[in-house]
Amino acid sequence: MRRTSSDERSFAAAARQLLGPDSLVEGAAATEIYGTDWRGVYVREPLAVARPRSTQEVATLVRLCASHGVGVVPQGGNTGLCGGAVPASDRSEVVISLARLNKVRNIDALGGTITVEAGCVLQRVQEAAAEQGRLFPLRLGAEGSCQIGGCIATNAGGMNALRYGTARQLVLGLEVVLPDGRIWNGLRSLHKDNTGYDLKQLMIGSEGTLGIITAATLRLFPIPQRRSHCLAALASIEDALALLARLQAAFDAQVMSFELMDGEGLRAAERILPQMRRVLPLSHPWYVLVEVATASVQLDLDDMLAMEMADASVDGIIADGVLATTISQARDLWFWREAIVEAERRNGPSLKHDISAALTAIPALVRELKKVVPAISQGTRPVAFGHLGDGNIHFNVWLSKDCTGSQAAKISEQVYAIVGQLHGSVSAEHGIGQHKVDLLRQVKSPIELELMARVKSAIDPSGLMNPGKVLRREAGARGRMAG
C-alpha cells in the first residue's frame, strides 16, 4: 500500500468531488484490477482510478491532473501486451478508465461510417455495424475485452489486416482530450482531406502518450456473403510465400487472413489441449490457415479455393491440405491457430517477440532465429506463428526450467539483433508500452528519437500523458508531484 502525500490527498478529494464517489477507485482494488497488466508482469498501485462518463468529464479530470502535476494513464480493456495501460513511473499517476464512454453515437450505413465512444468494446462495434448490414473488419483474439480506443491507441492489426489494413487505415476521425484538458474535435468522415498535417495519424499508435481518445469515426465495409477456409501443410516458409502470391493473384483483395503456424508448436499444443481435433497429419514443419471472403454471392469460393490448392499441390508448393466445407470445420481450423497461443500460456513462462520484416526476408529471419535459440539454452522451444501475410511473426520461446535469467535475456537480445540485421521491426503490432522503452532507444536512429521527443514535448510539454511509456523522460523534467 503506497503512502499518499497531502498534495495527493487533496487531488483525490477534488477528483471525488468532480466525478462523484462511485467514479473513483482507490487502494487494493485499484491495483488489482487497474494497476496490473494483462500478463501480470507489471503491477503498480495508481494514486486512484477515475471512471468518467463523458468526454467533458475526461477533459475536466485531465485539467485537474495538469494543475496537480499528476500523471495520466489512459486505460481501455487493459489487454495490451506491453504494460502500456498501467502506471510505470515513480510519480503520482491516475489511471483514467474509458469503460463508461461506451455509446455508439451514430451509424451511417450508406456512407459507410460509424462513430463510437472510445470505451466501446471492439466486439460491440462489430455487432453494431452488423446490425446495420455492414462490417467493421478489425478482428483480434482480445476482441471481447479490448476497447476501440485502445485498439486505435496501439494501432492494432489482427487477423484481417491483410485485407483491410490496421486500425490506422480504419479511422476517419478522432475526438481527443489533449494534455491541457482541451477537447480536439476531429470527428470527420472524410476519405480525402489534405489540409496540412494529419494529426489523427499522430494520435493513432501513440499509446496514450499524446492525449486521450474519447471517440472515433470508423470506416465500414460490405459484409462478406461467402467465406472459404483451408489449412495447408508446407515444407518451408518459402513455399508459404509462394502460396500467398498465388492466392493473391487469383483472389486479389479477397484474401482476408494468411496465418502461419509452426508444426513444432502445433505438436506441443496437441499434447497440451486434448480438445484439439487432428484435421491434418502433424508431421509437417509448417502450416498456414487461409481465409478468403467476398461480398458477391455469385462466386463459388470453395470451388475456386479447392482448385488453387490442387494446383499448388501439383506444383509441389503444398504438401497436404484440407478445405473446410462447414462452419464447424472452419472453427476447427481457427482452433489450430488459437491453440498455439493457449498451449503456450498453459505450458509456462515464455519470451514473446512480436516482430516483422519484409515478406521475402521472413524465411531467413525465422531460420536464423530458430538456430540461435537452442545454441543459448537447450530445451527451450522456439515457436513461430502469426500474421505471415503482413510479414508479422510472433516468435515466442517457451522456456525450459533450466533456462536462466541471463540466458533468457541473451535470447531476446539475439532475436532483436537478427531482426535489426534484416531491417525488420521489434514491435509489429503490440507497441512499445513500458516493456520496450529501452529497446526502442537501441533500434531507432537518433534523428527519429529526437523528432519523436520533440513531438511529445510540443503536445505534452509537462510529460503528463502516460509517463514512462514509449519515450522515457530524462530526470529533472518532471511535474510537481513527481516521485
Rounded-to-integer distance, Cα 5 and Cα 11, Å: 10
The widest CA-to-CA distance across the chain, in whole angstroms, is: 75
Selected range binding ligand FAD among 150-158, 178-186, 236-244, 289-297, rule: CB under 6 A: 150-158
The residue type at 246:
R
Under the binding rule (CB under 6 A), the answer on residue 464 touching ligand FAD is: no
CA nearest to 279, candidates 317, 235, 335: 335
Nearest CB to ligand FAD, comparing residues 34 and 239: 34
Taking each helix axis from N to C terminus, what angle separates 263-272 and 327-347, rounded to the nearest 10 degrees?
80
Cell digits for 421?
540485421
Rounded-to-integer distance, Cα 272 and Cα 363, Å: 28
Nearest CB to ligand FAD, comparing residues 35 and 77: 77
Contact with ligand FAD (CB under 6 A) among 47, 49, 81, 129: 81
Under the binding rule (CB under 6 A), the answer on residue 156 touching ligand FAD is: yes
Nearest CB to ligand FAD, comparing residues 411 and 428: 428
Q: What is the 3-state secondary structure (H, E, C) of 206-272?
A: CCCCCCEEEEEEEECEECCCEEEEEEEEECCHHHHHHHHHHHHHHHHHHEEEEEEEEHHHHHHHHHH
Under the binding rule (CB under 6 A), the answer on residue 135 touching ligand FAD is: no
Mark 90-129 with x for binding to ligand FAD (rule: CB under 6 A) and - for no binding. --------x-------------------x-----------
CB 314 to ligand FAD: min, Å: 33
CB 359 to ligand FAD: min, Å: 18
What are the Cα distances from residue 397, in Å, to 282, 373, 374, 408? Answer: 20, 8, 10, 9
Nearest CB to ligand FAD, comparing residues 203 and 233: 203
CB 430 to ligand FAD: min, Å: 6
CB 186 to ligand FAD: min, Å: 13
Rounded-to-integer distance, Cα 334 and Cα 394, Å: 17
Nearest CB to ligand FAD, comparing residues 44 and 469: 469
Tell me the site size for ligand FAD, rule CB under 6 A: 36
CB 145 to ligand FAD: min, Å: 6
CB 203 to ligand FAD: min, Å: 8
Contact with ligand FAD (CB under 6 A) among 35, 71, 87, 158: 158
Under the binding rule (CB under 6 A), the answer on residue 217 touching ligand FAD is: no
CB 67 to ligand FAD: min, Å: 21
Rounded-to-integer distance, Cα 221 and Cα 299, Å: 18
Taking each helix axis from N to C terminus, what angle separates 405-421 and 362-376, rounded to the nearest 10 degrees?
160
Per the CB < 8 A criterion, the answer to whether 392 and 42 are in contact is no
CA nearest to 449, candidates 417, 471, 427, 416: 471
Under the binding rule (CB under 6 A), the answer on residue 468 touching ligand FAD is: no
**Residues from 171 through 210 that contact ligand FAD (CB under 6 A):** 207-208
77: helix, coil or strand?
A: coil
CA nearest to 393, candidates 422, 368, 362, 430: 362
Under the binding rule (CB under 6 A), the answer on residue 88 touching ligand FAD is: no
End-to-end CA distance of the chain: 16
CB 456 to ligand FAD: min, Å: 14
Under the binding rule (CB under 6 A), the answer on residue 30 touching ligand FAD is: no
Per the CB < 8 A criterion, the answer to whether 69 and 46 are in contact is no
Under the binding rule (CB under 6 A), the answer on residue 403 touching ligand FAD is: no
Nearest CB to ligand FAD, comparing residues 78 and 356: 78
Cβ-based burial of 472 (10 A; exposed 0-12, middle 13-18, buried ≥19):
middle
Cell digits for 477?
523534467
For residue 184, the cross-strand partners are 176
**Residues from 277 through 336 that contact ligand FAD (CB under 6 A):** none
Under DSSP, the state recorded for 386 is: B
Selected range binding ligand FAD among 70-78, 129-137, 291-299, 328-336, rule: CB under 6 A: 70-78
Under the binding rule (CB under 6 A), the answer on residue 389 touching ligand FAD is: no
Contact with ligand FAD (CB under 6 A) among 75, 126, 160, 294: 75
Residues that bind ligand FAD (CB under 6 A): 38, 73-81, 84-85, 98, 118, 140-142, 146-147, 149-151, 153-154, 156-158, 207-208, 212-213, 429-430, 433, 466, 469
